[in-house]
Structure 1
Amino acid sequence: MHLVSDNIVEGRAGPTYPPVRPTLPDVDLTDIYRFTKGQPWDDFRRMRETAPVMWHPMPRDGVGFWALTSHEAVKRVNGDPEGFSSEKGGILMALGAEETRHPTLFSASTNSMINLDGRPHRELRKEHMPYFTATYMKGLRDRVSAEVTRLLDGMAPTGKCDFVEKFAQRLPIFTLCEMLGVPVADRERFMQWIHFLEMAQQIAVEQMDQLAGLSEPTPQIAAFIDMFNANVAEMFEYGRAMLAKRRADPQADLMSAIANAQVEGGKLPDEYLDGAWLLIVFAGNDTTRNSLSGAMKLFTENPEQKALLQADGGLLTNAVHEITRMVSPVIYMRRTATRDVDVCGQTIAEGEKAIMYYGAANRDPAMFPDPDRFDIRRANAEKNIAFGHGPHICIGRMTAQLQLEEAYRQIFARFPDIRWTGEIDIAPNNFVHAVKRLEVEFTPEATARAA
């Protein structure tokens, strides 16, 4: 099986064809620190209104990209794998300078299912599918529900806590480890690995600034980079050992399906095993964790919606669709044009990059009237594309839906007055909306019973 990393290219400098619409001068979607305040909804609105397909330059003489913010444009590119490749340039905004790349992370992040096109992508996706069907989810639901109860039991006496630390990061790890077949004793390690993976962009920016002479190395940064490298190495060593064990002795779990997957007539090369491990650990945890936290923030800011859900549990499934629309935990995906293609009146040249902003598309008034309003009864909430669209639609979307439903079914039953305090920390990351801390308050369960 060919390696994506052998042929991946950063892209063609552009724009080749004159931009039909202007580049907004004060919009910078490459600045990861801007995203510590949340997604730039106002920038996305202005881009949709003025330039839904906008040329966006890259710093440090990067090749630049077309930023897509309308629902029509994002859906158009996502649904056209022939015209827009995941494989030619990868799905991340930039490949990074070779001298700052973490070699294992770079290989794993490129040699994975999410970056494949055509038949190899279909074959590898098919190998995963038995663990992402409605039938499998039905069997998983009881275990997820029991874990939600256990986690809430731990929160119940406190009256306040960091919702991320006590609940939102723990439930997705439990669910994923149940699917993978990870021993209970090993599951705590996942939280630390994910923390460092979310900081990978910050590490790369720090190193590039040092190379460019924009900042000086410090002992603190050097120590953090050493911790980062040690944790990444530990994560891959663990994954390799587990996958080797499942090749030798397959079990009825997702880990065995990955280890023994057959693509193009053979088992996956080691590089793709690393890639599968990275993808499942990061994507399988991060998006659900941030949706759980984002939902708590939304319900606190919109108490009338919380009251609606508490009064009518039948709204829960649609409420989760609306939560994922509003939160859009994956900020973007990138594609590379395989030929000259027209997107909403703009010609994108072969080799140029197009980046689809899912949150911007999910707040497009052309698709979702009054799009910034959180409305759990929204008639078309299910049409959101937070999980993508087309052949690369997120394979784990039903898993995320299940966890959000089970979580909020129990949370509001047990802690009816739970609320976000206003305290929140978001990691500097422009690929995922990474909530690191979200403080909540509620009446302790024993106090509520006594009252």
Structure 2
Amino acid sequence: MSTAVDNTSSGERDIHDPYAYELDEIDVSLDERFEKNTFEGFFERLRKEDPVHYCAESENGPYWSVTRFEDIMKVDTSHGIFSSEGGITIAEGQADFELPMFIAMDQPKHDEQRRVANPVVGPMNLKEMEPIIRTRVQTILDSLPVGETFNWVDKVSIELTTQMLATLFDFPFEDRAKLTRWSDVATAALGTGIIDTEEERQAELIECLTYFTELWNQRVNEPPRGDLISMLCHGKATKNMDPMEYLGNLVLLIVGGNDTTRNSLTGGVLALNENPAEYDKLRADTSVIPNMVSEIIRWQTPLAHMRRIALEDTILNGKHIKKGDKVVMWYVSGNRDESVIADAEKFIIDRAKARNHLSFGFGIHRCMGNKLAEMQINIAWEEIMKRFKNIEVVGEPVRIRSAFVKGYSELPVRLEAW
């Protein structure tokens, strides 16, 4: 791991300068670069010079970075060669606190467990949820202070996604803030103000398990219903899960149901402010919203990466990857790959083929809730444009210190009504 610090005046290298390093010294997994939004230059260099790149030393151990669109897709769809078993993040979990979850399982168990939860985001359920989402979006937007500065993340992004999570789980609505807290605790880097130690993380996740176990015990003795807890406790492949596997799948569903929508809702506001000509396009023609939603999700890339483990020796883009090696698909880099996405560095709301992005992954692990996420963001922007001529960003965004969840904790804004 490089010992470079951000102190160029003392003659030492700037950790945010991608050309301050030899190629084999680059470690793109540093959380700080994502927090300070200085990571893109490193990925641009790797895409050009070493698209399948080996980092021998890092806080997360040795790993391969896959940075181009086509190589990422190959890894993501080659389930017999690259396994998700044991974890999906570059950071290793705690050996004494393993959380099995179906996204971190291989076939056939992955398919069996995912199939149990899939109906909650199936076409029939989405059709039923659409008016609920719209009503909640309307209520949230109508409560916002026009002409006053407030944090968009708290007032809109978190509130909307938390309400939706509560609906999916049929979770007690008055306690819905717990879902946001557990999502943050599950993914937060240590020492960022959310949690300071792994022991704190584990203690709060056990609280999550305790709460959800009570819900399980209620619903297992009731007829099957359409919420996720009822589906899990009555599903053939999930009804006999041990407690840690139940907790692992809960964390997966909570984080998955939270981060894509939450951070794309914020990222879209920021992108439109950074690209005012695109905001003018939107004001002139709101029929572009569905296409814009796909572009926002590409542009934001709410989860920066997914990891795999090589099950056998293999070759990827000329590089020899050994059995057991950690392979990281950097979606955040593939979504800027100019060889596949024209003008990938630009935010273009009427982009052709806007759905051609990596943010939801590919293959058996493609995001289960991608249609729900798109629907929520689409409805949000439809209702925003009915009410507000402008959402003006009036201060710097505060980004999350994480190389996994690419998101925000603060975005100060001021609304202007039509």
For the criterion TM > 0.5, the same-fold answer is yes
2:81 matched residue in structure 1: 83
1:14 matched residue in structure 2: none
1:178 matched residue in structure 2: 167
1:242 matched residue in structure 2: 215
Residues 343-354 of structure 1 mapped to structure 2, 5 A cutoff: 343-354=316-327
2:36 is the counterpart of 1:37: yes
Structure 1 residues 39 and 320 mapped into 2: Cα distance closer, same or farther (>3 Å)? farther
Q: Distance in 2 between matches of 1:222 and 1:82?
A: 37
Q: Is the 8 A contact 1:23 1:54 kept in 2?
A: no
Q: Is the 8 A contact 2:89 2:307 kept in 1?
A: yes
Residues 6-405 of structure 1 mapped to structure 2, 5 A cutoff: 24-25=23-24, 27-38=26-37, 40-59=39-58, 63-87=61-85, 89-96=86-93, 98=95, 103=96, 106-108=97-99, 111-157=100-146, 159-199=148-188, 201-203=189-191, 228=201, 230-249=203-222, 250-263=224-237, 267-405=240-378
Q: Distance in 2 between matches of 1:79 and 1:178?
A: 32
Encode CA deviations 1:243-296: one digit per residue, 9 max, x unaligned: 2222222433122112222229x6322222111111111221122111111001
Structure 1 residues 327 and 304 mapped into 2: Cα distance closer, same or farther (>3 Å)? same
Which SS does the other structure have where 1:417 is aligned?
strand
Q: Distance in 1 between matches of 2:398 and 2:325?
A: 34
Q: Distance in 1 between matches of 2:395 and 2:266?
A: 12
Q: Distance in 2 between matches of 1:344 and 1:238?
A: 47
Q: Distance in 2 between matches of 1:39 and 1:351?
A: 30
Structure 1 residues 65 and 226 mapped into 2: Cα distance closer, same or farther (>3 Å)? closer
Q: Distance in 2 between matches of 1:58 and 1:47?
A: 17
Which SS does the other structure have where 1:118 is aligned?
coil
Q: Is the 8 A contact 1:317 1:405 kept in 2?
A: yes
Q: Is the 8 A contact 2:87 2:93 kept in 1?
A: no
TM-score, normalization: structure 2? 0.89
The Cα of 1:79 is off from its aligned counterpart by 0.7
Which SS does the other structure have where 1:354 is aligned?
strand
Structure 1 residues 139 and 50 mapped into 2: Cα distance closer, same or farther (>3 Å)? same
Which SS does the other structure have where 1:128 is aligned?
helix
The Cα of 1:91 is off from its aligned counterpart by 1.3
RMSD of the TM alignment (CA)? 2.3
Which moved further from structure 2: 311-320 or 44-53? 311-320
Encode CA deviations 1:101-136: one digit per residue, 9 max, x unaligned: xx4xx322xx10111101111111111111112222
The Cα of 1:422 is off from its aligned counterpart by 3.2
Q: Which has the higher helix share?
A: 1
Q: Is the 8 A contact 2:308 2:327 kept in 1?
A: yes
The alignment covers a number of residue pairs equal to: 397
Encode CA deviations 1:400-438: one digit per residue, 9 max, x unaligned: 101110111111221112121232111211111131111
Which SS does the other structure have where 2:327 is aligned?
strand
Q: Distance in 2 between matches of 1:254 and 1:379?
A: 36
Q: Distance in 2 between matches of 1:425 and 1:233?
A: 29
Which SS does the other structure have where 1:38 is aligned?
coil
The Cα of 1:224 is off from its aligned counterpart by 7.5
Greater RCO structure (CA 8 Å; 6+ sep): 1
Q: Distance in 1 between matches of 2:337 and 2:305?
A: 15
Structure 1 residues 222 and 254 mapped into 2: Cα distance closer, same or farther (>3 Å)? closer
The Cα of 1:379 is off from its aligned counterpart by 1.0
The Cα of 1:241 is off from its aligned counterpart by 1.5
2:383 matched residue in structure 1: 410
Structure 1 residues 407 and 318 mapped into 2: Cα distance closer, same or farther (>3 Å)? same
Moved over 4 A (4+): 220-230
Q: Distance in 2 between matches of 1:226 and 1:270?
A: 18
2:383 is the counterpart of 1:432: no
Identical pairs, percent: 29
